């Protein structure tokens, strides 16, 4: 455990951190990539360009300083980040590199306020937290390797099917080259895909939700073509059936409670429906489970992923209910058949499906999820029954 003096000194730097803001972590990343360019093969550079990753790191550093006397408040964040790190194959040695650049950044930007005492305290605090992550990630690596069909590191998979789900979403079925079984996963988790391609300056790593229930034979991910997205466009345009991808075992702290016997409500917008597909198919495979409500919002029918599949399941499962919102329907979109409501999602229109004993899982743009969370709270749902996933750097709702 950290000593009280170290805790006191770290807490005393909170005003300094808040005054520096994300400029602190932006400088940190610039410094790290200048001195250790090999880490460009590990970090998601797209999130660097958008500014999302520096902001997320700053929020994490500030949260650590503020909660250093009550680290239990950070348990969920540690678990989420540890799962993310396994997808990037983070090593203990890389923690040392990151720690060195973090301390150097504090010294370079903090001026006279960052004394040797401050650097020593932050060095201890960082080392303590790094050991927590290293230990948890070692457990996750070992758990993946020891399970039936499991492995550690990358494993080669062949694209065995490629299916267009909407104008912007394409599914990729991935089958292991070695023909052996694949490790199971919890519905809602994701795969990490490592791409090396002549069109990429560095190795790029992306994490995509598994969009089908576990079967022990293969995996399915469904990828949205992002505007300006180098990797998503590459997958859509250049990777075909028969091509290979390097894959890391499934991970993620957002998943369906598979022991839940009460109703579940799956709420999504846009490509946020991909982890919901895994949850839905898992629940549908077990008729003993309670009712499932599927709520989805998208722009129109052209962008409505898995529309035909969901409609077909409605006719085969009397426990499944579906409501869809199109923000601006096209002329060919049919009310009551393709969608039920026009505009943005308003849960008050399906208030009878919002039950206190249900579990609520939602995924989509951050603004959408923040709206859903507030609507659920207004309808009397306790926040402990809500679970959500942010694609990319994490943000709190």
Quick check: 383 and 377 in contact, CB under 8 A?
Answer: yes
Query: Is 274 labelled a binding residue?
Result: yes
**DSSP labels for 21-66?**
TTHHHHHHHHHHHHH-GGGGGTS-HHHHHHTHHHHHHHHHHHHHHH
Strand order in the sheet with 219-224: 204-209, 190-195, 244-251, 155-164, 169-176, 219-224
3 state SS of 122: helix
Query: Is 350 labelled a binding residue?
Result: no
Quick check: 73 and 67 in contact, CB under 8 A?
Answer: yes
Q: How many helices (H) and strands (E) does the chain have?
A: 12, 12
Query: Is 189 labelled a binding residue?
Result: no
Q: What span, in angstroms and rounded, lies between the C-alpha atoms of 221 and 232?
A: 12
Quick check: 293 and 263 in contact, CB under 8 A?
Answer: yes
Which of 259, 168, 161 lies closest to 212 in space, CA to CA? 161
Query: Is 190 labelled a binding residue?
Result: yes
Query: Is 271 labelled a binding residue?
Result: yes
Query: Is 136 labelled a binding residue?
Result: no
Query: Is 207 labelled a binding residue?
Result: yes
From the candidates 64, 95, 219, 282, give the one annotated as an active-site residue.
95
Query: Is 85 labelled a binding residue?
Result: yes
- Respond yes or no: is residue 126 known to be catalytic: no
Query: Is 393 labelled a binding residue?
Result: yes
Those residues with Cβ within 8 angstroms of residue 344's Cβ, 6 or more apart along the chain or in another chain: 297, 325, 327, 371
Q: In the 8-state DSSP scheme, what is residue 317?
A: -
Q: What span, in angstroms and rounded, lies between the C-alpha atoms of 179 and 216?
A: 11
- Respond yes or no: is residue 326 known to be catalytic: no
3 state SS of 15: helix
User: CA-CA distances (angstroms) from residue 312 to 172, 231, 318?
Assistant: 21, 32, 12
Which of 367, 309, 356, 299 lies closest to 333 in space, CA to CA? 299
From the candidates 29, 64, 126, 137, give the one annotated as an active-site residue.
137
Query: Is 275 labelled a binding residue?
Result: yes
Query: Is 43 labelled a binding residue?
Result: no
Q: Which residue positions form the known binding site for NADP(+)?
A: 270-275
Q: Which residue positions form the known binding site for heme b?
A: 85
Q: Which residue positions form the known binding site for FAD?
A: 190, 206-209, 390-393
Q: Which residue positions form the known binding site?
A: 85, 190, 206-209, 270-275, 390-393
Catalytic residues: 95, 137
């Amino acid at each position: 455990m950290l000593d009280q003096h170290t805790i006191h000194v770290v807490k005393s730097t909170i005003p300094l951190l808040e005054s520096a803001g994300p400029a602190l972590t932006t400088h940190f990343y610039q410094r790290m990539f200048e001195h250790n360019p090999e880490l460009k093969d590990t970090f998601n550079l797209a999130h660097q360009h958008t500014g999302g990753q520096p902001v997320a790191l700053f929020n994490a550093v500030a949260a650590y300083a503020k909660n250093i006397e009550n680290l239990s408040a950070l348990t969920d964040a540690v678990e989420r980040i540890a799962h993310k790190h396994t997808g990037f194959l983070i090593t203990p040695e890389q923690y040392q590199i990151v720690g060195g650049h973090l301390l150097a950044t504090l010294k370079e930007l903090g001026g006279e306020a960052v004394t040797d005492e401050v650097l020593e305290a932050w060095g201890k605090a960082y080392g303590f937290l790094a050991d927590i992550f290293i230990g948890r990630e070692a457990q996750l690596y070992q758990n993946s390797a020891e399970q039936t069909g499991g492995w550690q590191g990358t494993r080669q998979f062949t694209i065995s099917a490629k299916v267009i789900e909407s104008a912007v979403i394409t599914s990729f079925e991935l089958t292991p080259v070695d023909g052996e079984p694949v490790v199971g996963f919890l519905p809602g988790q994701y795969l990490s895909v490592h791409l090396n391609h002549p069109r990429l300056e560095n190795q790029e790593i992306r994490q995509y939700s598994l969009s089908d229930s576990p079967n022990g034979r293969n995996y399915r991910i469904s990828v949205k073509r992002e505007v300006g997205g180098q990797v998503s466009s590459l997958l859509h345009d250049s990777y075909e059936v028969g091509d290979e991808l390097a894959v890391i075992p499934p991970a993620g702290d957002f998943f369906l409670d598979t022991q839940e016997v009460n109703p579940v409500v799956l709420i999504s917008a846009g490509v946020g429906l991909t982890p919901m597909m895994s949850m839905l198919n898992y629940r549908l495979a077990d008729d003993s489970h309670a009712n499932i409500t599927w709520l989805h919002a998208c722009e129109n029918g052209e962008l409505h992923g898995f529309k035909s599949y969901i409609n077909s399941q409605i006719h085969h499962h009397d426990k499944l209910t579906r409501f869809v919102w199109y923000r601006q329907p096209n002329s060919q979109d049919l009310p009551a058949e393709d969608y039920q409501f026009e505009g943005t999602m308003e849960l008050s229109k399906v208030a009878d499906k919002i039950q206190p004993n249900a579990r609520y899982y939602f995924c989509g743009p951050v603004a959408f999820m923040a709206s859903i969370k507030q609507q659920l709270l207004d309808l009397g749902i306790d926040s402990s029954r809500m679970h959500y996933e942010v694609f990319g750097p994490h943000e709190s709702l």
